[in-house]
A = this chain, B = another copy of it.
Amino acid sequence: MVDILHRVGIRAARADVYESLATTKGVAAWWTTDTTGTSEVGSSFDTTFWHGQTGELLGGFRLRVEELDPARRVRWLVEDGPAEWIGTHIDFDLTDEDGWTVVMFRHLGWSDPVPFMHHCSTKWAVFLMSLKHLHEDGAGEPSPDDVTISNWH
């Protein structure tokens, strides 16, 4: 098993960053505007990604909410999406440090370090920077207006 790990610090209140992870409206503002369903423990929601220039459907994920610990932790299980993602877990842990909200991000349980995992590692970093921009600058870069990192989008 291999994991994608990231750490970003955001100049915003921990409760506000938590809202961006714990609610579908929040997720829609930094990951993908096409976020539908219910973010409650035991429920699932869907994130769907589109190409900003061509309008092409790129894919999506169904996330089962496993943990919502207010202002501290959000954990999802990937129920549907690309084969490599199904059964993996996505964790966000929030702490305060020096006036920053620090997000420790972990996408856990990849079977193999395939090229797609390399891609997702970089793309997660860019989406976490989108979460940071949302809070610090007032707007993130969710799909379909997300930052292109390669031919894989």
What are the interface flags for A119-132 relative to B under an 8 Å C-beta threshold, 1 for contact and 0 otherwise? 10110011011001
Residues of A in contact with B (beta carbons under 8 Å apart): 2-10, 97-100, 102, 104-106, 113, 115, 117-119, 121-122, 125-126, 128-129, 132, 147, 149-152
30 examples of A-B residue contacts, CB within 8 angstroms: A2-B2, A2-B5, A4-B121, A5-B113, A5-B117, A5-B118, A5-B121, A6-B118, A6-B122, A7-B115, A7-B119, A7-B121, A7-B122, A7-B149, A7-B150, A7-B152, A8-B149, A8-B150, A9-B151, A10-B150, A98-B151, A99-B151, A100-B150, A102-B150, A104-B115, A104-B118, A122-B125, A122-B128, A126-B129, A129-B149
